[in-house]
Amino acid sequence: MLTKRMKVSIISGAILGVVCIVGASIRSGFGYDAVFLFAFWYNRLLMGVVIGLLDAKLGMPGLIYRGAGIGLLVSFAFYSSIGFGDPIGFIAGIIYGVIIEYAAYKYGR
């Protein structure tokens, strides 16, 4: 079950989660607590897991739409749980979904 695609997706999600933590910390003036930042990172990791579980047999346009769709769905869970307080983080999640999907497509074969 732990295919190369899954490994690439999980690693990509974990790395992008760290990027999210740094970005959220800078945007908030380092005002977020550790639990919030962990939840942010975990959301990106979960996005990588979900994308890694999906089949890789799509063309490039399908990959972009699917990455954005999964990014939207997974990010919306976190965005709604924090009271719709971080729209930049939500939009970044959609973009990160595309990045993770592309990395999984390109390096997960």
Q: 49-99: per-residue pLDDT in tens?
A: 999 998 877 777 778 889 999 999 999 999 999 999 999 999 999 999 999
* pLDDT at residue 1 in the model: 73
Tens of pLDDT, residues 21-45:
999 999 889 888 999 999 999 999 9
79 within 8 A of 86, measured Cβ to Cβ: yes
Domain limits, the chain: 4-107
Report the distance separating Cα 61 and Cα 49, nearest Å: 21
